[in-house]
């Protein structure tokens, strides 16, 4: 693709100034338009070393409001950030609605740098993100009305050498000294091939590459800013159309109907077993920490199914420095400014730690589906989005357990009434619980579909028979013990 | 203080269980009460190694809702967190309104650990936080209705040795293996003296120490949880009284009245000088980065005084990877859940970086004072709080510049009218600007007091004559160039 570019373009300083005067004003304008329209914008600058990304970003900043305009660079990531699943850094720095995030070297450079470091024997771990994951990541965002603008700044080999030499003279570039980006100038052909492959694999209709002939900085700047202005203007002025209907599986699944939620376990047996598994878990937590394996444990289930109690029996066994519990309810006003998966990515466990989610991202295909908080095409595509997210974590080495705590409708009613009638427990039950109960059938359908479609080899669902709390708590503990042992190769 | 404790206390398992049954329920209850009352609670566990902090925290967690209950530990801080100003980590992990944060080893341990590392030659930097700063930090929070509960878990030397040996046997404690806490058992007397000094220096009426005889874990747990329950119950049920009136300086200051906001500078001279200072600044940014000195630059001034333009001329000279601009407006719904200084602490610059604030924490003593968003006693104590914050940054090595952009009232009117009449500029002016303008005199009084009372050797105010934008922008650049050169010892 790159070889088709016209590298001879030139723009005089006078012509540049003449154009930039008006163009700069328009850039400021479209920023305000995007803010007004609550469109989040992602701008990616990739390309050769020496392509003067910083200068271009600087020119842009002169025209724009600093409010809601942020610049991030993967050359400045910390070691801890490098140790997280690939996209974590980018999730953490996603623009909120109406804001602009500029990535001075993005996921593309990060992938390349990881691969080069590995090839040269400088990497502790040689696991690479696939272009599929990159495409999925971008698709998920553009599906959610993010605008993604990707610029590849192309330099000829000669011009690159010239630029690098010039940069080195101006006292060195401090940031590049600390963590220098790859200098491709001596292996230009090799990298050209690599970049070509990257571009062809990720040039997609929803997030196409803008290939920029950057030997001449001035024409490159004009080209880039013009394209930003025109794309954003168009995007803001084009009404968002609902996507075409998706193909829905018309099988009715019935996972829950086959579960006998009532299982027997006496209190004495429970106490004995509980003690045994808690002790085992305590030890395994330490081993998981030493092996630096992160764990995600998800709890879903009917209201009053015993999620809280199961979590407490689990955490009772754990060192409080090594886990955190994230209770999930309706997104707050800040969380609503982002893609719905954002608030989970920012709470991933550090290496060796355990993140426990009390309700999860599966709300998208349950409550949001049933209450209409997500449009049909939104929750319908969520199965794919969620599976891709969990796959990324699994590929990064995460241990993942997902529990559905199952009770039958009669049992729920009994527990609701108990709560209602006991002054010490009344705080546990709300009008909303009763309202949700009326929608039992709709939830059952949604849960059945979820349990089938998101049950994967790397993140399987465990349905827990929950009418007997003792049995349920033990099954949760046992499942986690098994998972840890498997992960540790025991 | 510690030697007065009764270390012989003992509680049988049966007695412990009998008490804990009811106490546990009450603990859950007071958590809900505190949430309801929007009281944030900070619980600090300090004391000897081996005092079984984790076990106590675990017992608490069994009774409490994970929602809004978080545990942090200074033994798990990353190197980057260690490189920030002392209290940054704690600000970042402050509980929101109604939430509980538990510090398993807090600022007290961090101070001790820093000092011990330094004494043993294991520290790269031997700067210590003073007990004064610790007391100020706690006072600022309790003034803002945070509840702070500080527990010192005291062990006899024998019991400590026994506990440590026992811990070591149970497969080692993973977290302690990675970054082991100080083992004081061989220098018990020396540490006893150190802890005594710490306790006596920081035992204050607003945040007293609870000294706990912890040789017997069961009685210690009961004592701690009882004290949490009783303190929170009392705090929630006691109406918050406004503090006694503060002594106000009755001098009327007149800094602004002595400023001649009109200074001459021609466009040609400006262009020449601008170019010179921008080039110098570009170079100095790199040197500041190499020296890893963080910078905070504050912009305050009248509406339309030219803050945005000055910031753009400044950032035009800077590498975008090395700075960020933080525009500050009314706190959002999340920010309102915290102490008013929280949102600034979480945006401090990393070592070598520049954080530019377009409006700042000084809003507390200007707009919040004038509009009544802060009560009298709140903004009146803010001078102290702000000075203490800036002093901490300065002691940590920060470069700090604070600008007040001054224009006179006629000039503001001219600029407002310009904006109103130019379709391209109308977005810059709002009804609120006009309303603020009507309160010019009240603002002038507040600004005068602020400029006098928060003008310090470590964070001085620069008043910038702003009627001529060229002059103002240059003065800002020059001041920053001077600051950087001074910091770099030039």
Q: Does B324 touch chain A (CB under 8 A)?
A: yes
Residue A170: pLDDT band with limits 50, 70, 90: low
Nearest to A80 by CA among B76, B349, B182: B76
Cross-chain residue pair A62–B312, CB shorter than 8 Å: yes
Mean pLDDT of A242-261: 82
Q: What is the dihedral of CA A470, A473, A479, A480, to 10 degrees?
A: -140
Averaged pLDDT of chain A: 92
Q: Which of B26, B173, B174 should one mutate to test binding to chain A, selecting the residue with the greatest count of A CBs within 10 A?
A: B174
Residue A14: pLDDT band with limits 50, 70, 90: very high
Q: Does A172 touch chain B (CB under 8 A)?
A: yes
Q: Does A286 touch chain B (CB under 8 A)?
A: yes
Any idea which residue has 């968003």 for tokens?
Answer: B373
Cross-chain residue pair A312–B174, CB shorter than 8 Å: no
Q: Does A54 touch chain B (CB under 8 A)?
A: yes
| Predicted local confidence at residue B149, as pLDDT | 96
Any idea which residue has 């803008």 for tokens?
Answer: A210
| ipTM confidence | 0.82
- A401 contacts A462 by C-beta, under 8 angstroms: yes
Distance, in Å, from the CA atom of B255 to the CA atom of A402, rounded to the nearest integer, reads 64
Give chain B's end-to-end CA distance (angstroms, integer).
50
Q: What is the pLDDT along chain B (490 residues), one digit of tens a residue?
A: 888 888 988 999 999 999 999 999 999 999 999 999 999 999 999 999 999 999 999 999 998 988 889 999 998 898 889 989 999 999 999 999 999 999 999 999 999 999 998 888 877 667 788 999 999 999 999 999 999 999 999 999 999 999 998 887 765 555 556 667 899 999 999 999 999 999 989 998 889 999 999 999 999 999 999 999 999 999 999 887 777 767 777 778 889 999 999 999 999 999 999 999 999 999 999 999 999 999 999 999 999 999 999 999 999 999 998 999 999 999 998 899 999 999 999 999 999 999 999 999 999 999 999 999 999 989 999 999 999 999 999 999 999 999 999 999 999 999 999 999 998 888 889 999 999 999 999 999 999 999 999 999 999 999 999 999 999 999 999 999 999 999 999 8
Would you state the structure tokens that stand for residue B113, as one six-digit string? 């650990």
Question: Which residues of chain B lie closer than 8 angstroms to A319, CB-CB?
Answer: 54, 173-175
Distance, in Å, from the CA atom of A104 to the CA atom of A163, rounded to the nearest integer, reads 17
Q: Does A352 touch chain B (CB under 8 A)?
A: yes
Buried b (16+ CB within 10 A) or exposed e, A187-219: ebeebbeebeebbeebbeeebebbbbbbbbbbb
| Predicted local confidence at residue A177, as pLDDT | 59
| Predicted local confidence at residue A328, as pLDDT | 95
A20-74 residue pLDDT tens: 999 999 999 999 999 999 999 999 999 999 999 999 999 999 988 888 899 999 9
Cross-chain residue pair A312–B424, CB shorter than 8 Å: no
Interface A:B, Cβ pairs < 8 A: 125
- Lowest pLDDT segment from A128-132, A479-483, B1-5, B281-285: B1-5
Q: Does B169 touch chain A (CB under 8 A)?
A: no
Distance, in Å, from the CA atom of B243 to the CA atom of B236, rounded to the nearest integer, reads 17
Which candidate from A174, A325, A334 shows the least CB-CB separation from B66? A325
pLDDT at A179 over 60: yes
Q: What is the nearest CA distance from B327 to chain A, expressed in angstroms?
A: 6
Cross-chain residue pair A321–B73, CB shorter than 8 Å: yes
User: Does residue B286 come out as left (phi exceeding 0), alpha (psi in the -120 to 50 range) or beta?
Assistant: alpha
Q: Does B422 touch chain A (CB under 8 A)?
A: no
Residue A442: pLDDT band with limits 50, 70, 90: very high
Q: What strands, in cross-sheet order, belong to the sheet with A295-301?
A: A323-327, A354-358, A295-301, A399-406, A461-465
Q: Does A175 touch chain B (CB under 8 A)?
A: yes
Q: What is the nearest CA distance from B414 to chain A, expressed in angstroms?
A: 22
A379-393 residue pLDDT tens: 999 999 999 999 999
Nearest to A367 by CA among A453, A459, A460, A302: A302
Q: Does A32 touch chain B (CB under 8 A)?
A: yes
Distance, in Å, from the CA atom of A461 to the CA atom of A416, rounded to the nearest integer, reads 26
Which candidate from B57, B177, B321 shows the least CB-CB separation from A104? B321
Question: Which residues of chain B lie closer than 8 angstroms to A67, CB-CB?
Answer: 327, 358
Q: What is each CA distance from A486 to A281, A284, A390, in whole angstroms?
A: 13, 11, 18
Distance, in Å, from the CA atom of A105 to the CA atom of B138, rounded to the nearest integer, reads 42
DSSP symbol at B246? P
pLDDT at A485 over 80: yes
Question: Which residues of chain B lie closer than 8 angstroms to A424, CB-CB?
Answer: 25
Nearest to B285 by CA among B351, B347, B353: B353
| Predicted local confidence at residue B86, as pLDDT | 94
Q: What is the nearest CA distance from B358 to chain A, expressed in angstroms?
A: 9
Question: Which residues of chain A lie closer than 8 angstroms to B67, CB-CB?
Answer: 327, 358
């Amino acid at each position: 693709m790159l070889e088709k570019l016209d590298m001879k373009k030139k723009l005089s300083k006078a012509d540049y100034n003449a154009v930039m005067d008006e163009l700069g004003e328009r850039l400021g304008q479209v920023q305000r338009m995007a803010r007004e329209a609550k469109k989040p914008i992602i701008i990616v600058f990739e390309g050769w070393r020496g392509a003067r990304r910083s200068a271009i970003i600087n020119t842009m900043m002169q025209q724009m409001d600093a409010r809601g305009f942020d610049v991030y660079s993967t050359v400045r990531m910390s070691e801890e950030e490098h140790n997280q699943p690939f996209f974590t850094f980018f999730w953490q720095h996603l623009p909120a609605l109406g804001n602009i995030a500029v990535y001075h070297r993005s996921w593309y450079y990060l992938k390349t740098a990881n691969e080069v470091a590995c090839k040269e024997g400088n990497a502790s771990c040689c696991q690479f993100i696939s272009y599929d994951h990159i495409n999925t990541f971008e698709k998920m965002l553009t599906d959610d009305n993010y605008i993604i603008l990707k610029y590849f700044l192309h330099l000829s080999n000669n011009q690159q050498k010239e630029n690098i030499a010039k940069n080195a003279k101006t006292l060195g570039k401090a940031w590049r000294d600390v963590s220098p980006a790859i200098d491709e100038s001596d292996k230009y052909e090799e990298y050209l091939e690599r970049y070509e492959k990257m571009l062809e694999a990720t040039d997609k209709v929803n997030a196409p590459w803008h290939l920029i002939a950057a030997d001449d900085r001035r024409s490159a700047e004009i080209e880039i800013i013009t394209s930003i202005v025109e794309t954003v203007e168009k995007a803001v002025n084009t009404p968002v159309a609902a996507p075409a209907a998706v193909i829905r599986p018309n099988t009715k699944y019935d996972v829950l109907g086959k579960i006998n939620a009532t299982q027997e376990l006496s209190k004495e047996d429970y106490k004995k077993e509980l003690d045994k598994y808690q002790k085992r878990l305590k030890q395994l937590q330490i081993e998981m920490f030493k092996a630096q394996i992160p764990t995600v444990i998800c709890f879903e289930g009917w209201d009053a199914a015993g999620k809280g109690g199961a979590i407490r029996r689990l955490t009772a066994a754990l060192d409080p420095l090594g886990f955190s519990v994230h209770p999930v309810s309706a997104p707050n006003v800040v969380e609503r400014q982002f893609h719905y998966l954002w608030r989970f990515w920012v709470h991933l466990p550090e290496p060796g730690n355990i993140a426990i989610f009390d309700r999860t991202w599966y709300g998208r295909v349950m409550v949001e589906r049933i209450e209409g908080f997500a449009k049909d095409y939104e929750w319908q595509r969520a199965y794919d989005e969620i599976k891709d997210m969990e796959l990324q974590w699994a590929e990064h080495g995460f241990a993942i357990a997902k529990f559905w705590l199952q009770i039958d409708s009669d049992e729920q009613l009994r527990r609701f009434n108990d709560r209602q009638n006991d002054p010490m427990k009344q705080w546990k039950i709300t009008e909303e619980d009763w309202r949700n109960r009326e929608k039992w059938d709709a939830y059952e359908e949604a849960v059945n579909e979820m349990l089938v479609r998101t049950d994967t080899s790397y993140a399987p669902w465990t349905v827990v028979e929950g009418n007997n709390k003792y049995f349920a708590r033990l099954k949760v503990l046992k499942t986690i013990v098994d998972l840890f042992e498997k992960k540790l190769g025991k």
